[in-house]
Structures are given as structure tokens and as C-alpha cells.
Amino acid sequence: MSKILPVFLPFASCGNKCIFCDQQAISGVRAESDLLLHAEKQIDKWQTYSTDYDEIAFYGGNFCAIDKNIRISLYEKAYNNGIKKIRFSTRPDTINNETLSEIKDYNISLVELGIQSLDNEVLKENKRPYTSHQAIKSVEDILKITDCGVQLMTNMYKQSKYSPVDDAAVFSKMGVKTARIYPTQVLRNTHLNYLYEQGEYIPSLLEDILVTAAGMYIHFTAENVKVIRMGLPHEAEESNEITAGAGHKSFGDMVITLVMLLYMDMGGRIKYSGYKKAGRELFSENFNKYEEVNKNNMQEICSILRSEYLENSKRFIEGQAAFYADKLKNKANN
């Protein structure tokens, strides 16, 4: 497994500010005008702690919209410091013939696309400057050259509870390598906070986003897509910048617990405690009869769950998953 050196470039060349976004609050890294110097400082700092990094990741902002000379300088800085692989995150609207050639020429190992949604109305209302067609085409074009990851959100402004699950179903079958699932939380210095204060945006309840994220996780894992994050980074959760919206420091653990509870509910012969030992309490008989679940079995488990529950995303969200999500919410509140 690669040891990744993270470099955060908040708002770098975004061109516009999405209504939900405050990358400084999310990453804990302040934006600076000299991007190259800002990145070099972070690289040098991390390499004083360790020289064993074999991959670098440029997060935040809109990497492929940064001045090309700066991008190339960053690639060269990484390779000259012994880094073997480079990944970055960017928006779908920056993927074109020029950037695709650059991805190939500099052996970029993975490109993460901040897609968020495939609903064109949701994209427009949240000031995402591309369409669902552009998003899908960008993934297809990147996959012809290298690995691709996708970042999706739940409970965006004007987004239904069901569409994120359907979005995950689409991308899971396209051959993407990784996925991130971010529940929308209201950050203080955003237009979404204004909409919330005006009563125009209603944040989700924790139990609702748990169900949605579980459906997304099942789709991705069933197709062997690695879900590398669920929930905002700890820096955001621990800051005072979140004004509304459900979240939890153990959000990822809660989602996986919900998935396993559904599997045990349908007769899955495993024992799994999970978040605050919910499985042990709700399925005590499993702990007398069965063996601990093997992480290598997660793809098979999610394939079974997808077949059983996810033919219809609305039925999934309003069905048995909601019952167990409510149990987990109560544990979180207690």
C-alpha cells in the first residue's frame, strides 16, 4: 500500500465558489496566493517527518485549472524528491485533450473527480459548472489512460434522498478505482448557510444520510470499488465552522455497521459488533453460532445485499435500512 503525502491547495483555481464549500474549514489549511511555494512548504514539512512517501496527492481546489507551469513544477518537485506516483483531484470540466495528454505524459496514477451529483438541476443550484454528461465522459476519458476516483455527496441543496444511491450505481459499474462519500454539512462561510438561515435548505437527519451512504457503499463495494472516505475530515468535524447538518466522527464505522446489520437481518451467518457493538446487541444469537466476518468477504456480502435490497433505491431507503439506521442514531445520541 502506498504511503501518501497530502498537499492541500484550498480554492486553487476554482473559478467559482460552490454554495456548500469552504475548503479551509474542511482541510484546516489556509489558502495562499503563491500556490507553488505553498505546496513546496507542505512537501518539505512532511518529508522532515519521513522520507518513505512513495505517492503524493494534491487535494483541494481545481488542480487541472491551475497554471500549467505550476502543475509541471509540482510534478517535477515530487519526482525529484523520490516520489514515485502522483494523484490529484479536479473538476470534470477541466478534463480535456490537453489535460488528458498531461495525465498520460506525467504518469499520473489516479485522478479524483469532484462530481458530487449526476442531477443537472442539483449541479446548477449548487453552482457546479458542468453537466452530468460532462462528468460521465470525463470518467470514461480518464479510465482510458489511468485510474479514476469519484467524490459524491448526499443531501445537497435540491437533491433527493434517492439520487446519490443511483449515482453510485452508475459509477460503480464504470470501473472507477476509488470513491468518497460526503454528507452535506452546512459550513459557516457559505451561501448554503444563508439558505439554511432563511429556511430554504433543510439539513438531513443522521439516520437519513446513514441509509443513503449505506446504499452507495453497497453499490461501490459490490463492484470492488474502494470507498476511501465517508464523512468530512476530522478537521472539519472538530472545528466550529459547521452550523447545521448531520455528521459524526465515526460516520464511516456507522455506515459499515448498518450494512452488516442488514446482512445479518437477512440471515447472513456472521458475527459483527460494529459501532458501539450494535450487532452484538441486536443479533446476539449470531455470536454463539457464527465466525467473525472476514474483510475479504465484503465484496460478496455487498453483492448479496445489492441483489436483495437495491433494485429500487426508494424502497431501500424507506425499508428495513431505515429501521437499523434509527437504532444507530439512538446510539450516537446516547
Q: What angle do CA 34, 38, 39 make, to 5 degrees?
A: 120
Please say if the pLDDT value at position 34 is more than 90: no
Radius of gyration of the chain (CA): 20
Selection from 51, 52, 49, 39 nearest residue 6 by Cα: 39
Selection from 186, 27, 71 nearest residue 10 by Cα: 27
Residue 313 phi, psi (nearest 5): -65, -35
- Mean pLDDT within 126-145: 97
> What is the 8-class DSSP label of residue 294?
P
The grid cell for 255 is 455506515
Long-range contacts (CB closer than 8 Å, 24 or more residues apart) made by 50-53: 50/3, 51/82, 52/3, 53/3, 53/4, 53/5, 53/82, 53/83
Selection from 105, 50, 35, 59 nearest residue 83 by Cα: 50
Please say if the pLDDT value at position 14 is more than 80: no
What was the pLDDT predicted at 224?
Answer: 97
Q: How far apart are CA 51 and CA 106, in angstroms?
A: 22
- Mean pLDDT within 68-76: 94
Q: Is residue 27 very low, low, confident or very high in pLDDT (cuts 50, 70, 90)?
A: very low
What was the pLDDT predicted at 284?
Answer: 94
Q: For 213-236, what is each residue's pLDDT tens digit?
A: 999 999 999 999 999 999 987 666
Q: For 273-285, what is each residue's pLDDT tens digit?
A: 999 999 999 999 9
Give this prediction's pTM.
0.93
Contacting residues for 154 by C-beta, under 8 A, at least 6 apart: 161, 164, 181, 182, 183, 184, 204, 209, 212, 213, 216
What was the pLDDT predicted at 203?
Answer: 94
Q: What angle do CA 20, 22, 25 make, to 5 degrees?
A: 130
Q: For 197-208, what is each residue's pLDDT tens digit?
A: 999 999 999 999
> What is the 8-class DSSP label of residue 137?
H
What was the pLDDT predicted at 111?
Answer: 98
Q: Is residue 168 very low, low, confident or very high in pLDDT (cuts 50, 70, 90)?
A: very high
